[in-house]
Structure 1
Amino acid sequence: MIELDEIDAKILRALARDATQSAGAMGRRLGLSQPATWRRIRRLEEAGVIRGRHLKLNAEKLGFGVTVFLGVKLALRGRVSLEDFERAVTAIPEVQSVEHVLGLYDYRLRVVARDLPDFERVLRRRIMTLPGAGEVEANVLLSEERLAGPL
């Protein structure tokens, strides 16, 4: 585990708000030079603290008006490998994330669709036909707020 000081925490908060900002601009706000800021960012990347920088698309503006969280319980424990299910579900373009979880369900999926009939099509024709797919619970996203992380 890497030791983080207050400057590292400030860099992480700044990148979480806007990962496109330059090391020079960030350094000026933090009282560091551009090279010193860049070295700290590289150290955080090399230590695995920063795993990447991601583009967040507005699904609604792209025509995907419905987001659904699915809890999926595998039907045939031991007969279908987790890897088979994961490989099949990650090949579905409407599935944005796949999380293997502990609890009532084995997996939590984030699925986007154009509308509810489109979601029903994805559910019936793609998700429910996956190897080992059993019980499913759907929760439709009504709104989403971004909460500050642990830093």
Structure 2
Amino acid sequence: MIDLDATDRAILRALQQDATLAASALGRRIGLSQPAAWRRIKRLTEAGVLGARSLDLDLEALGFGVTVFLGVKLALKGRVSLQDFERAVSAIPEVQTVEHVLGLYDFRLRVVARDLPDFERVLRRRIMTLPGVGQVEANVLLSEERRPGPLG
């Protein structure tokens, strides 16, 4: 674990809001020179605090109006069935996240679809046919509030 000072936390908060900030713009925002900001970003990246920067797409604007969270309980337990399921479900483009969880279900999936009939097609033809799928529970996302995280 790396020790973070107030400047490191300010950098992380700024990058949480806009991961595209260049070191020069980031430095101006928090009162550092470009080289000093770059060195801190490099140190945070090398320590594993900062990972790959990603783009946040507006799924609704792209035509994906429905998001569903699926709880999936596998019918067969065992290391092979977990790995087989995870590999197969990860290949489905509508599945945005695959989380192996502890609790009532073995996996939690975030699935996007154009509409409910499209989701039903993905569920019936792709997800329910995967190896080891047993019980499935669906929860449709009504609204989402993004939280900045513990540094916010």
Which consecutive segments of 4 or more residues in structure 1 shift more than 6 A? Answer: none
Residue in 1 that maps onto 2:81: 81
Displacement, 1:82? 1.3
User: What is the RMSD computed on CA atoms of the aligned residues?
Assistant: 1.0
Aligned positions of 1:31-50 closer than 5 A: 31-50=31-50
Q: Structure 2: how far apart are the matches of 1:55 and 1:95? A: 17
Displacement, 1:79? 7.6
Question: Does the 8 A contact of 2:16 with 2:148 survive in 1?
Answer: no
**SS of match in other structure, 2:38:** helix
Q: Across the two proteins, how many residue pairs are aligned to each other?
A: 151
- Aligned AA (2:24): G
- Aligned AA (1:85): F
Stretches of structure 1 that go unaligned for 5 or more consecutive residues are: none
* % identical aligned pairs: 79
1:72-119, Cα deviation, whole Å (9 max, x unpaired): 001111284211111000000000000001111110000000100000
Q: Structure 2: how far apart are the matches of 1:18 and 1:137? A: 35
Question: Does the 8 A contact of 1:69 with 1:109 survive in 2?
Answer: yes
1:31-76, Cα deviation, whole Å (9 max, x unpaired): 1110010010011111111111110111111111100000000111
**Could you say if the C-alpha distance between residues 35 and 47 of structure 1 is closer, same or farther in structure 2, counting changes exceeding 3 Å?**
same
Residue in 2 that maps onto 1:21: 21
Aligned positions of 1:1-151 closer than 5 A: 1-78=1-78, 80-151=80-151
TM-score (norm 2): 0.96
Displacement, 1:30? 1.4
Question: Does the 8 A contact of 1:80 with 1:132 survive in 2?
Answer: no
Q: Structure 2: how far apart are the matches of 1:129 and 1:118? A: 16
Stretches of structure 2 that go unaligned for 5 or more consecutive residues are: none
- Aligned AA (1:51): G
Q: Structure 2: how far apart are the matches of 1:121 and 1:137? A: 16
Q: Structure 2: how far apart are the matches of 1:108 and 1:147? A: 20
Q: Structure 2: how far apart are the matches of 1:101 and 1:16? A: 25
